[in-house]
Chain A
Amino acid sequence: MSEPSSSFPQQTVSDKTLRRKTLFAFVFFIVFLAGAWATFKWVNRQPKEGGALKPLRKTLNANERLFSAMFDANKLVKEYPVSAAAKRVRVNGMDGLRDSVNEETWRLHVVRSSGDTLHLTINDIKKLPKKDLVFDFKCIEGWDQVTHWAGVPLKTFMQYYHLNGQSKMKYVGLQTPDKKYYVGIDMPSALHAQTLLCYEMNGKPLPANQGFPLRLIIPVKYGIKHLKRIGTMFFSNDKPADFWAERGYDYYAGH
C-alpha cells in the first residue's frame, strides 16, 4: 500500500483536472453505494407473496426451475449401515399431530380424481414390498442426523394401485388428517427411488411424534417436506398448498 511503481501508466495533469476527476469519481462512488442501499430498502418494501418478499420469491422460483431441470432421478442419497443410525431421533414440531390417532379407524385417503377416493388401512400398505433406508436426514434449520426408516417406496405404491395417469401430473399433495399441515411435492422427487411411505423407525412402528401410523420420508428434500401422519394424498398440475411455503420458505426445498 505504498507508492505504485513507475511501470504503471503515468500522466501529468493540471490541479484543476485532478480535482475534477477526483470529485467526479467520488460523486459516482457515493451514488453507487446509495443506490445499493436504496435497492436493498426497495426490496424490503415490496409486498409479500407466500410470506416472502416478492422479488425474493421470484428468485426462489427461478432457482427451483434451474435446479429441478438439473434434478437427476437416478442419483441416490448415500445410505448408511443400520448401526450408524441415531437411537434418539430428533423431533421438531407437532403441527398436524395434535389430535389423537387410532390405527383401527385411520385410513390413507388417495384421491385418484374428484369423487374417486381409495381408502387404505395401514395393513394394505404394509403388504407392499418393504424397503429399509438409513440416511442423513437434513433439517432446514441446519442440523442433520443419520436415521433409520422403513416403508414402501411411493413409486412402488403408485404402480401397485395403478396410479399411472396421476404419476404424469406435476405434483403430489399430502395433508395430515386434521388438514393443519400440508405439503406439495414435485412429481420427480415424489417418484425418486428412496421416497418412502414410511411406517417404521429403528425397526419399530413409528412413534406418535414421528407421524404414526404413516409418514413421508423423502431424502431429496429438507425435513419440512417429510410430512408426518399422512391423511390424504392427491395429485395436481398446480402447486398444492404448502405449510412452510406459506410462511416464507422455499417451495422446492430440494437437495
Chain B
Amino acid sequence: MKTIVHKHPLAVRWFHWINFPVLALMIWSGILIYWANSVYMIGPAHKPLFKFFPQGFYKHFHINHRLAEGMNWHFALMWLFAINGFLYILFTIFSGQWRYLLPNKKSFKEAWLVLLHDLHIRKYAPPQIKYNAAQRIAYTAIIVMGLGSLLTGLAIYKPVQFSTITALCGGYAAARAEHFILTIGYVLFFFIHIVQVIKTGWNNFQAMVTGFQVIKPSAKKTSQ
C-alpha cells in the first residue's frame, strides 16, 4: 500500500501541457519573423558582444527567408496561447489555486533562503506548501510575462486600432523590443525550470503528468 497526495488538478495539467508545445511553436515562428529585421544586440552597435542572432544560426537551422510562414503560424497560434492562458488564470482564481501560486509577504525573504539552499550554501530549505517562495515568484512572473507578451504583441500587430496599448509600451519600436525581451525571458525561465525539475526528481515530475505524488514513508511521518 502507498499513500498518494493529489497535488496538481487535472485542469492545471492540461493548461500546462498545452502551453508547452504552443509556446514552443510561438517562439519558433517568432524567430522566423524576427529574422526579417534581425537588429537586436548586446553591446555597442559597431562592436556588439552578442548579436541576436548571428547569420550562421539562421542558416544552420534553415530559418531564414521564412517571414510569411512565421507570421502565418504566429497569428494562428496566438489564439491558442491567449485562450489557454486566460482559462488557466480563470481556473487559478476560481479554484483557489492562486493561494499556492502567488507570492506572499514572506516569499521575497524566503526566496533568498531557497536560493542559498539550492546553491548548497544553506543546509535547510524554508518550509513550503506545494510551491516554495522562489517557485511562487517565478511562476507568477511567468504569468505576468504571458500577459505582457499578449499586450506587446497586440501593440505591434494592430498599432492603429490599439494605439493606446502601443503608446503605453512607448511606441511601436519599443513594443517590438519588449516583445522580444519577454521571449528571451521565457527561454531563461525554461532552462531554470527544466534544471529544477530534473534536480527535484521523478516523483515530483510525474506528478505534473499523473496529478498525484507518492508520499515516502519518512515524509509521511513528519507530516503527521
Contacts and interface: CB of A to CB of B under 8 A. Distances in A.
Asked whether A and B interact, the reply is yes
A8 interface: yes
A144 B160 contact: no
A143 interface: yes
Contacts of B39: 143
Given A2-B200, A21-B210, A247 B1 contact: no
A77 B166 CA distance: 12
Interface string B197-215: 1011000101001111111
B125 to A, nearest CB: 7
Given A2-B200, A142-B176, A255 B161 contact: yes
A1 B6 contact: no
A14 interface: yes
A32 B209 CA distance: 11
Nearest to B205: A1
Nearest to A55: B76
A142 B17 contact: no
Interface stretch (A118-126, A133-141, A163-171, A174-182): A133-141
A8 B6 contact: yes
A142 B34 contact: yes
B49 to A, nearest CB: 22
B27 interface: no
A25 B72 CA distance: 33
A138 B171 CA distance: 12
Contact of B132 (A1, A15, A22): A1
Interface stretch (B63-71, B145-153, B182-190): B63-71
Given A78-B163, A141-B67, A56 B72 contact: yes
Interface string A28-61: 0100110011001000000000011101110110
Contacts of A2: 125, 128, 132, 200, 204
B6 A9 contact: yes
A160 interface: no
Interface in A129-162: 136, 138-144
A37 B5 CA distance: 31
Nearest to A1: B200
B67 A13 contact: no
A3 B215 contact: yes
A144 B177 CA distance: 12
Given A75-B163, A255-B159, 7 more contacts: A1-B196, A8-B130, A25-B210, A55-B76, A71-B161, A143-B37, A255-B158
